[in-house]
């Protein structure tokens, strides 16, 4: 792996270091390089290295890249994980018997489980609320525990979810022998704070803790790391970019990075300033928003692309996409799968998505599927629809895998025969049946209903399902329909093509909120809804809220490698272009 001089310098620093890294500067490379170096140092000792990242996707990315640098047996010496899994595996799981209610063990409560749904429904019912939608479930899944044990979260400030409801919910969670992500952190904090032997064990075990995306750290995470640092045997590499801190609603506070760095006397004189992602004109726009010293410079393969970012104002974002953005992609030979439309809020992407789909443009997003992903029949149905949309022999493997997992999650039985010659024959029968139903039915819902019935028959004949299990898929389809109704999705609007796109989003135009685009990159990006009142939102009044909106816009700008389009909505004459587009306070296109 080739590193630049500044990447190498950061990776070789043996002191506590807070490394500020500009967008596209290869933070992941530095972390992988550091990790492989320090694993080498601890290889012949009982010690280990933890690498804490923000998402599971980042965990997989770092794991995959590290494979090229390690030796057999090294896996005992490193753990790449999120802060939640770090706390779960090293603190909460081994010591949970010390916590009231968890003497006999626990199960982790994940937001896509049936238990979660039941507990939220039961809690809300107790407070007189019966009809729940996705947002209600989201609010419970975003609850956090503050360092004083109180409930915190955006829903609490809005008043939709009260501290009493949060308390009741957590009581139910504990009584069911479950623990949610918020409490994994809180109990781990308590265990480290109150039990010096546990703190000494963690400090002795971890020679290094590397933390990625440190700008998005929360108060409880900082307190946990502070305790470990104070125990004195662990060194830290913290990598982040204060200008990309956009998760304030989830408790992230960019100022905490400095607080923690000071507490541990970390060096903060090193920076990554070379941006490998964006062209020079895009970097110039980003530098207008947040000038850095030294400035961020374009150093990657697109650095010499000369296309200037463009601003278009129209009463219809759809028209700009169709008349301007898509032809521009074609003119520059950028596949639509390598392009994204970003917006400050995901809900404005829904109507756009619908119109694009009607117009025949393959899109993926916005946001999640309109039904819960854990519905038993959903993954198999999606894979099969994906195959029908694009006959690709490699997708057969994905269908086999999803058939294997569908049978396992529906029945609890493992059928390795799925992967045999006979299994492949069953897959072909399913595909043949799916295709003939596709020719018969217009929308996805009718297709799902018939496919659930016919697939069950085929799988019973193949011996994968018992006759008594013939209704399992049908029941899952009913659950998917109920999810969609609860989310006010018009069932007639869901197309078989949509199901396929959920399975293989690679070749579709991506529609995403700016938040969800964090950490990703695209050859072309259009950012829509760039009006004052939408970004910053009219409810954002404090300097802190406005700055977070500016950082969100900065994240959007720096996702584009070569082509960037700003779109404002001219239908409402009161809301002119956002201040972030103007000369005095932004990129200066208007």
Binding mask 244-263 for ligand ATP (x = CB under 6 A): x-------------------
Contact (CB, 8 A) for 54 and 216: yes
The per-residue DSSP string of 71-122 comes to: -TTGGGGEEEEEHHHHHIIIIIHHHGGGSTT-TT--EE--TTSHHHHHHHHH
Binding mask 12-51 for ligand ATP (x = CB under 6 A): ---------x-xxxxxxx----------------------
Q: Closest residue (Cβ) to ligand ATP? A: 26
**239 strand-pairing partners:** 19
Chain positions 185 to 204 lying near ligand ATP, rule: CB under 6 A, are none
Rounded least distance, CB 21 to ligand ATP, Å = 5
Distance (Å, whole) CA 87 – CA 73? 23
Rounded least distance, CB 4 to ligand ATP, Å = 5
The answer to whether the annotation marks 177 as part of a ligand binding site is no
Number of residues that bind ligand ATP (CB under 6 A): 19
Rounded least distance, CB 312 to ligand ATP, Å = 25
The answer to whether the annotation marks 24 as part of a ligand binding site is yes
State the DSSP H helix or E strand holding residue 445, giving kind and residue range, or none if neither: helix 444-461
Rounded least distance, CB 9 to ligand ATP, Å = 12
Chain positions 300 to 329 lying near ligand ATP, rule: CB under 6 A, are 300
Among 209, 218, 264, which residue's Cα sits nearest to residue 91? Answer: 209
Query: Which residue number, 288 or 475, has a Cβ lying nearer to ligand ATP?
Result: 288
Rounded least distance, CB 39 to ligand ATP, Å = 20
The answer to whether the annotation marks 506 as part of a ligand binding site is no
Q: How many CB atoms lie within 10 A of CB 135?
A: 10
Contact (CB, 8 A) for 207 and 41: yes
Chain positions 557 to 576 lying near ligand ATP, rule: CB under 6 A, are 558
The answer to whether the annotation marks 25 as part of a ligand binding site is yes
Tokens 């953005």 belong to 325
Query: Which residue number, 22 or 352, has a Cβ lying nearer to ligand ATP?
Result: 22
CA 181 from chain centre, in angstroms, equals 15
Is residue 144 packed enough to be buried (19+ CB in 10 Å), middle (13-18) or exposed (0-12)? buried
Query: Which residue number, 2 or 265, has a Cβ lying nearer to ligand ATP?
Result: 2
Q: Does 519 bind ligand ATP (CB under 6 A)?
A: yes
What φ, ψ does residue 512 adopt, rounded to 5°?
-150, 150
What φ, ψ does residue 471 adopt, rounded to 5°?
-95, 0
The answer to whether the annotation marks 533 as part of a ligand binding site is no
The answer to whether the annotation marks 13 as part of a ligand binding site is no
The answer to whether the annotation marks 105 as part of a ligand binding site is no
Stretch that binds ligand ATP, among 3-11, 86-94, 318-326, 531-539 (CB under 6 A): 3-11
The answer to whether the annotation marks 397 as part of a ligand binding site is no
Distance (Å, whole) CA 447 – CA 441? 6
CA geometry: angle at 535 spanning 534 and 538, to 5°? 55
Rounded least distance, CB 54 to ligand ATP, Å = 10
**In angstroms, what CA-CA distances link 345 with 357, 364, 367, 393, 448?**
19, 16, 10, 37, 30
Token reading at 216: 């998005």
Q: Does 460 bind ligand ATP (CB under 6 A)?
A: no
What φ, ψ does residue 565 adopt, rounded to 5°?
-125, 130
Among 428, 421, 419, 491, which residue's Cα sits nearest to residue 455? Answer: 428
Distance (Å, whole) CA 321 – CA 309? 15
Rounded least distance, CB 344 to ligand ATP, Å = 18
Binding mask 267-296 for ligand ATP (x = CB under 6 A): ---------xx-------------------
Q: Does 4 bind ligand ATP (CB under 6 A)?
A: yes
Query: Which residue number, 66 or 220, has a Cβ lying nearer to ligand ATP?
Result: 66
Query: Which residue number, 278 or 494, has a Cβ lying nearer to ligand ATP?
Result: 278
Rounded least distance, CB 367 to ligand ATP, Å = 20
Catalog residues that contact ligand ATP under the rule CB under 6 A: 2-4, 7, 21, 23-29, 241, 244, 276-277, 300, 519, 558
Q: Which residues are annotated as a binding site for ATP?
A: 21-28
């Amino acid at each position: 792996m080739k590193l630049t001089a500044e990447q190498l310098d950061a990776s070789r620093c043996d002191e506590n270091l807070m490394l500020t890294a500009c967008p596209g500067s290869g933070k992941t490379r530095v972390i992988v390089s550091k990790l492989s170096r320090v694993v080498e140092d601890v290889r012949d000792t009982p010690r280990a290295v933890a690498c804490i990242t923000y998402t599971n996707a980042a965990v997989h990315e770092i794991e995959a890249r590290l494979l090229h640098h390690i030796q057999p047996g090294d896996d005992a010496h490193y753990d790449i994980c999120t802060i939640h899994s770090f706390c779960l595996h090293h603190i909460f799981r081994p010591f949970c018997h010390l916590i009231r209610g968890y003497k006999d063990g626990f199960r982790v409560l994940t937001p896509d489980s049936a238990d979660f749904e039941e507990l939220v429904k039961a809690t809300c019912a107790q407070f007189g609320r019966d009809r729940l939608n996705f947002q209600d479930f989201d609010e419970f899944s975003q609850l956090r525990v503050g360092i004083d044990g109180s409930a915190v979260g955006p829903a609490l400030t809005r008043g939709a979810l009260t501290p009493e409801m949060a308390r009741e919910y957590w009581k139910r969670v504990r009584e069911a022998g479950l623990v949610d992500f918020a409490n994994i952190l809180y109990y781990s904090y308590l265990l480290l704070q109150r039990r010096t032997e546990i703190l000494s064990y963690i400090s002795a075990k971890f020679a290094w803790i590397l933390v990625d995306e440190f700008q998005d750290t929360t108060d409880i995470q900082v307190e946990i790391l502070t305790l470990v640092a104070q125990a004195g045997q662990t060194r830290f590499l913290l990598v982040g970019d204060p200008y990309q801190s956009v998760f304030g609603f989830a408790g992230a506070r960019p100022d905490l990075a400095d607080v923690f760095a000071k507490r541990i006397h970390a060096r903060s004189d090193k920076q990554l300033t070379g941006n490998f992602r964006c062209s020079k004109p895009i970097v110039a726009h980003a530098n207008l928003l947040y000038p850095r010293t030294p400035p961020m410079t374009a150093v990657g393969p697109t650095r010499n692309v000369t296309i200037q970012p463009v601003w278009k104002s129209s009463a219809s974002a759809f028209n700009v996409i169709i008349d301007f953005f898509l032809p521009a992609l074609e003119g520059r030979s950028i596949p639509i799968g390598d392009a994204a439309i970003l917006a400050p809020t995901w809900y404005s992407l829904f109507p756009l998505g619908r119109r694009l789909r009607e117009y025949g443009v393959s899109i993926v997003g916005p946001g999640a599927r309109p039904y819960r992903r854990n519905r038993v029949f959903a993954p198999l149905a999606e894979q099969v629809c994906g195959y029908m949309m694009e006959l690709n022999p490699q997708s057969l493997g994905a269908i086999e895998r999803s058939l294997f997992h569908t049978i396992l999650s529906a029945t609890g039985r493992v059928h390795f025969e799925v992967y045999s010659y006979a299994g492949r024959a069953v897959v072909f029968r399913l595909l043949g049946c799916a295709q003939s139903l596709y020719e018969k039915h217009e929308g996805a819902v009718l297709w799902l209903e018939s496919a659930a019935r016919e697939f069950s028959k085929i799988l019973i004949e193949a011996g994968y399902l018992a006759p008594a299990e013939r209704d399992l898929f049908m029941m899952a389809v009913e659950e998917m329909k109920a999810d969609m109704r609860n989310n006010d999705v018009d069932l007639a609007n869901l197309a078989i093509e949509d199901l396929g796109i959920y399975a293989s989003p690679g070749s579709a135009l991506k529609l995403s909120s700016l938040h969800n685009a964090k950490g990703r990159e695209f050859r072309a990006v259009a950012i829509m809804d760039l009006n004052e009142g939408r970004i910053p939102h009219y409810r954002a009044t404090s300097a802190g809220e406005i700055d977070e909106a500016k950082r969100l816009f900065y994240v959007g700008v720096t996702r584009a490698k070569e082509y960037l389009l700003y779109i404002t909505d001219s239908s409402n004459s009161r809301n002119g272009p956002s201040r972030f587009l103007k000369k005095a306070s932004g990129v200066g296109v208007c």
